[in-house]
Amino acid sequence: METVQQEAATLAQPKKTTTVTGSVALMEGLIAEGTETIFGYPGGAIMPIYDAIYDYKDKLNHILVRHEQCAAHAAQGFARTSGKVGVVFATSGPGATNLITGLADAQIDSTPLVCITGQVFATLLGTDAFQETDVINISAPVTKWNYQVTEASEIPAALAKAFYIARSGRPGPVLIDITKNAQMQLFEYEGYTPCSHIRSYRPKPIVRNEYIEQAAALINSAKKPFILFGQGVLLGSAEQEFKAFVEKSGIPAAWTILGAGAIPTDHPLNVGMLGMHGNYGPNVQTNSCDVMIAIGMRFDDRVTGRLDKYAKQAKVVHLDIDPAEIDKNVKADVPVWGDCKETLPLLTELITERTHDEWLAEFKAYDKIEQEQLIQKELNPQTGELTMGEVINQLNVLTKGEAVIVSDVGQHQMVACRYGKLNTTRLSVTSGGLGTMGFGLPAAIGAKFGAPERTVIAVIGDGGFQMTLQELGTIMQFGVDVKILILNNQFLGMVRQWQQLFNEKRYSFVDITSPDFVKLGDSYSIAGKRVTERENLIPGLEEMLNTPGSFLLEVMVAKEHNVFPMVPQGSSVSEIRLK
């Protein structure tokens, strides 16, 4: 009763305001948007914001990273496992420029981030002031939207817009640059109103039924239909809708590395990974399917190989929320423009329940060849040096497909993505489009905050680990329970593989020396072990998983081992090589 009366009283009165600083309004806004964790690094131009967060420590958990790039990657890891928007704080100048790699990675992989950067006083803009950099223009190509705030009163609306843009439609990173005066300025704060509409921005296009009908007719008449799915399924939280579509249609489905886990690895219709180091069947069958149904994927060149020899025989149905993706790389015969959470059920409704036993058997036949010629040797070698594949395979046995696997970039990434077992969605975190070495460790930190109930394993190569190993400090300071699995082949393996295959083994600057990683971990109070022999692999992995808190396991793997299958650059997907 009392509440109702109070509400009535509030309605009758003019809007209540409180006088607060821009920084306090920012904190209130972040809380209103459901922010709990912020990854950041302070500095001169963002000091008022850090002064404000001092009083919000009970509500906002700030994780002090060791480099701003890692704040962005950690926020990406958080966003990928939680499905929420990752939030980053950084100061002006070098703080802001250090974010750029993370922003570029988030932009190309459609990861929702809100980055707040400090900026010099508005009166100093353009004067080459200390730590001034034009972050708005530097970040324009790698953000979905950005905005410079110079007045405290702009903060609530700018932040509301930022969150709305970051998470809606095709998600992406957004940057708000706030001048120091705006952070300190007092203004009349009317409370926080979330944004739900921007007239110039249409996140979700209207679904057009005629295309759904055309797509369904094409699918129903297909003899050899093939589904390619990407991260759009995850981003649209459409895993259930996708599963229903796949199961009713009975169509074999293959994934891009960012689509991994949209249906479980073991699902009978999951035929494997697409692309340069994907599975044999999905690549070869791309050029024999009659109808290709691409869902929330963007035909990246690492997926398509040579475009003029890509699925020329197939009719293409392309489901995507971003109209700019339709026809960008592969011409669509039926463009199904829209959010796949909406379009997939409409499509499922119209398709005939079918099985494609013979067609599926063709995939199985290719899988058999791949298993015999490659996978078994890779996953279960009895002699010789340890392989990356057997490490991932043993890890699967122990985690049973329930752990989050964060990978860095390179050979180990391809192996982790190919062989990693995923029982459910949002268990694989990797840098897909940008291929950012150094992504793994900070992303794993964020992934753990995004999925605290899960075991998080960062699978990283010896090269990538040395790019961001300073984040061991973050892991130590905040007691982040991350299992670090370094697959050390003493080379920058992927480049070495290319130099071996295409540059006559002219190994140019790929021989990389590493410190004693276990000792390094020890200096950060992170328990660790090095495995060099096969008999120690399972005990080592068990110790890593069973030790409470973080753990660093370094596994010495074969130095000159190549990732296969491989679609060589400039070749068609059907020219995939098994060796």
Partner 1 sequence: MSDSKDIELGNSKQEFTITVYTENQIGILNRIAIIFSRRKINIESLNVSPSEIEHIHRFNILITETEEVVKKLARQIEKQVEVLKVYANTNDDIIWQELALYKVPTEIVAEKVFVERLLRENGARVVVIRKNYTIFETTGHRSETDKLIEVLQPYGLIEFVRSARVAIIKDSEGFNSKLREFERLEPGQEVIENEFLDKEKNVFTM
Residue 81: other Cβ atoms inside 10 A = 26
In the complex, the smallest distance separating the C-beta of residue 249 from partner 1, rounded to whole angstroms, is 17
Nearer to partner 1, 333 or 543 (CB): 333
Q: Which of residues 320-339 bind partner 1 (CB under 8 A)?
A: 322-324, 326-328, 331-335, 337
| Site pattern 299..318 for partner 1 (x: CB under 8 A) | ----------------x---
Confirm whether 57 is a catalytic residue.
Answer: no
Nearer to partner 1, 45 or 195 (CB): 195
Supply the DSSP symbol for 373.
Answer: I
In the complex, the smallest distance separating the C-beta of residue 385 from partner 1, rounded to whole angstroms, is 44
CA distance 579 to 560: 14
In the complex, the smallest distance separating the C-beta of residue 339 from partner 1, rounded to whole angstroms, is 13
Nearer to partner 1, 218 or 557 (CB): 218
In the complex, the smallest distance separating the C-beta of residue 322 from partner 1, rounded to whole angstroms, is 7
In the complex, the smallest distance separating the C-beta of residue 324 from partner 1, rounded to whole angstroms, is 4
CA-based torsion, 338, 340, 341, 345: positive or negative:
positive
Interface with partner 1, residue 290, by CB under 8 A: no
| Site pattern 457..486 for partner 1 (x: CB under 8 A) | ------------------------------
- In the sheet that holds 113-119, the strands lie side by side as 61-64, 37-40, 86-90, 113-119, 173-179, 145-149
Interface with partner 1, residue 288, by CB under 8 A: no
Contact residue for partner 1 among 3, 13, 19, 196 (CB under 8 A):
196
The rounded Cα 354 to chain-centroid distance in angstroms is: 33
Can you name the residues that pair with 270 across neighbouring β-strands? 253
Encode 78-144 in three state secondary structure.
HHHHHCCCEEEEECCCHHHHHCHHHHHHHHHCCCCEEEEEEECCHHHCCCCCCCCCCHHHHHHHHCC
Tally of CA atoms within 13 A in the half-sphere of 226 that contains its CB: 29
| Site pattern 119..138 for partner 1 (x: CB under 8 A) | -----------------xx-
| Site pattern 548..577 for partner 1 (x: CB under 8 A) | ------------------------------
Tally of CA atoms within 13 A in the half-sphere of 286 that contains its CB: 33
Supply the DSSP symbol for 310.
Answer: S
Nearer to partner 1, 145 or 478 (CB): 145
Inter-CA distances, 577 with 278, 302, 564, Å: 11, 15, 7
In the complex, the smallest distance separating the C-beta of residue 517 from partner 1, rounded to whole angstroms, is 39
CA distance 91 to 117: 5
Catalytic residue among 27, 28, 39, 68: 68
| Site pattern 407..446 for partner 1 (x: CB under 8 A) | ----------------------------------------
Interface with partner 1, residue 200, by CB under 8 A: yes
Interface with partner 1, residue 197, by CB under 8 A: yes
SS3 at position 369:
helix
Confirm whether 68 is a catalytic residue.
Answer: yes
Contact residue for partner 1 among 202, 519, 559, 577 (CB under 8 A):
202
In the complex, the smallest distance separating the C-beta of residue 337 from partner 1, rounded to whole angstroms, is 7
Catalytic residue among 494, 529, 544, 554: 494
| Site pattern 206..245 for partner 1 (x: CB under 8 A) | x-x-xx--x--xx--x------------------------
In the complex, the smallest distance separating the C-beta of residue 231 from partner 1, rounded to whole angstroms, is 17
Give me 76's structure tokens.
């990406």
Q: In which element (H, E) is residue 31 found?
A: helix 22-32
Confirm whether 465 is a catalytic residue.
Answer: no
Amino acid type, 413: Q
Contact residue for partner 1 among 121, 145, 192, 478 (CB under 8 A):
145
In the complex, the smallest distance separating the C-beta of residue 298 from partner 1, rounded to whole angstroms, is 13
Supply the DSSP symbol for 572.
Answer: B
Q: Which of residues 152-181 bind partner 1 (CB under 8 A)?
A: 165
Contact residue for partner 1 among 6, 130, 140, 365 (CB under 8 A):
140
Nearer to partner 1, 56 or 147 (CB): 147
Interface with partner 1, residue 201, by CB under 8 A: yes
CA distance 518 to 551: 9
CA distance 480 to 136: 33
Contact residue for partner 1 among 34, 141, 191, 515 (CB under 8 A):
141
Classify 505 in phi/psi space as left (phi over 0), alpha (psi -120 to 50) or beta: left
Confirm whether 187 is a catalytic residue.
Answer: no
Q: Site size for partner 1, by CB under 8 A?
A: 39
In the complex, the smallest distance separating the C-beta of residue 198 from partner 1, rounded to whole angstroms, is 7
In the complex, the smallest distance separating the C-beta of residue 343 from partner 1, rounded to whole angstroms, is 14
In 3-state terms, the chain is what percent helix, strand and coil (to 5)? 45, 20, 40
Q: Which of 267, 307, 269, 268 is nearest to 286 (CA)?
A: 307
Strands 404-407 and 428-429: parallel
Q: Phi, psi at residue 531, to the nearest 5°? A: -110, 125
Nearer to partner 1, 203 or 549 (CB): 203
Q: Are 3 and 134 in contact (CB under 8 A)?
A: no
CA distance 348 to 196: 29
Supply the DSSP symbol for 374.
Answer: I
CA distance 292 to 294: 6
Confirm whether 494 is a catalytic residue.
Answer: yes
Nearer to partner 1, 108 or 494 (CB): 108
Supply the DSSP symbol for 205.
Answer: P
Q: Please classify residue 318 by burial: count the beta carbons closer than 10 Å to its beta carbon, then call 0-12 exposed, 13-18 middle and 19+ buried.
A: buried
Nearer to partner 1, 75 or 332 (CB): 332
Nearer to partner 1, 205 or 568 (CB): 205
Contact residue for partner 1 among 44, 83, 194, 205 (CB under 8 A):
205
CA distance 353 to 373: 35
Q: Where does this chain bind partner 1 (CB under 8 A)?
A: 136-137, 140-141, 144-148, 165, 196-202, 205-206, 208, 210-211, 214, 217-218, 221, 315, 322-324, 326-328, 331-335, 337
Catalytic residue numbers, as ranges: 68, 130-131, 180, 494
